[in-house]
Homo-oligomer: A and B are copies of this chain.
C-alpha cells in the first residue's frame, strides 16, 4: 500500500499504456508461438477502426513482452492485411531465429472474420539486437525549424479520437483547411509531436509516432480520397539510454511522398529528438482510391 499521493498507484495510467496492454495466454509447448490477448482502444480510434500506429505498437509489444526476447528493436515492418474490428484480438509472436546478438521475429494479429473463423488482420516481422558501441555518424541533416514552443498546437478534430492523443505542432505542410482539390507541388509535412498528455518515449510509442503523419495524398491534392496504409517500417536508431534522455519532450517529425502511381504511394520520414539525434527513420506504402 502506497500512502503518499505521488506513488504509481495514485497516478492515472496513460491511455497509451492501456492501449498496448497485452495479457499473455497460456504458453503451449516449448518453442510454440507465444500468444497474447489485446483489445482495440477507443482512445486511439480512427475514422474507421483503430489508428494504424497503435496496431503496430501492439504488435511490437508482443515482441517486447516475449520472455525469450534478446536485445532491443532495430527494425520492424508491419502489414495492414484487413481493417481491425473494434474489440478483442489475439497477437502471436514467434522468435523464428535467434543468433548470438540478433533475433528475428514473425508476428501476426488475429481476429475472427465475418463467418467467425480465425483470420489474420496484421502481419509483421521484427529484428531485435544487442547493440555494442561502434563508430557512428548521422548523414541526414536535421532541418532548421522553429522550436516546439514557438509553434502552435494544431486544433483537435472532434470525430477522430487518436488525433487527441497527440500534441501536434506543424511548422510545415499542415492538413489542408480547404478541401478544394487544389494541387500543391510538394507533399512534405513537418511537425513537433508528443503524446498528449506527455508520456516518456519508449519503443512502442516511438513506433506509433512514426505512423502519425496524415496521408501525403491529402496534402498533395487537397482531397480526402480514401486511403489505407498497406506496409509500414521503422528502423530504430536508439538504445534505452537515448530513449530515456528524450523523456516526455516533443520529437521533430518530417515526412514526404516520393511516388504516387495507380493506387499506391510511398512515404519516407524521420523522427528527431529536440537534442538533434535521429531516433528513427520510417517508410510506408499507402493505398489511395483515386
A221-239 interface with B by 8 A CB criterion: 221, 230-231, 233, 235, 237-239
The chain B residue with its CB closest to the CB of A290 is B134
Among listed A42-50, A61-69, A119-127, interface-contacting one: A119-127
User: Is A266 close to B, CB under 8 A?
Assistant: yes
User: Is A131 close to B, CB under 8 A?
Assistant: yes
Cβ–Cβ contact B104 & A81, under 8 A: yes
Among listed A144-152, A160-168, A190-198, A251-259, interface-contacting one: A251-259
Among listed A2-10, A17-25, A135-143, interface-contacting one: A135-143
A127 to B289, CA, bound (A): 17
What are the residues of chain B within 8 A of A238 when measuring CB–CB?
261
Nearest Cβ distance between residue A18 and chain B, in whole angstroms?
A: 27
User: Is A186 close to B, CB under 8 A?
Assistant: yes
The chain B residue with its CB closest to the CB of A221 is B135
User: Is A55 close to B, CB under 8 A?
Assistant: no
A262 to B262, CA, bound (A): 39
User: Is A41 close to B, CB under 8 A?
Assistant: no
Nearest Cβ distance between residue A76 and chain B, in whole angstroms?
A: 9
The interface bits of chain A over 72-95 (1 if a CB of B lies within 8 angstroms of the residue's CB, else 0) are: 001101010110000000000000
A106 to B108, CA, bound (A): 10
User: Is A203 close to B, CB under 8 A?
Assistant: no
Among listed A32-40, A207-215, A280-288, interface-contacting one: A280-288
User: Is A169 close to B, CB under 8 A?
Assistant: no
Known contacts: A129-B264, A233-B77. The answer to whether A123 contacts B137 by CB under 8 A is no
A81 to B74, CA, bound (A): 13
Contact of A106 among B106, B233, B264 (CB under 8 A): B106
Interface core residue of A131, A221, A260, A290 (most chain B CB under 10 Å): A260
Nearest Cβ distance between residue A12 and chain B, in whole angstroms?
A: 35
Known contacts: A233-B233, A259-B278, A261-B237. The answer to whether A287 contacts B136 by CB under 8 A is no
Cβ–Cβ contact B119 & A97, under 8 A: yes
A99 to B113, CA, bound (A): 12
Inter-chain pairs besides A106-B106, A139-B258, A237-B261, 7 sampled, C-beta below 8 Å = A74-B264, A81-B99, A97-B120, A134-B260, A138-B258, A138-B260, A140-B259
Question: 8 interchain pairs (CB within 8 A)?
Answer: A74-B231, A74-B264, A127-B230, A132-B262, A135-B290, A231-B233, A258-B270, A281-B283
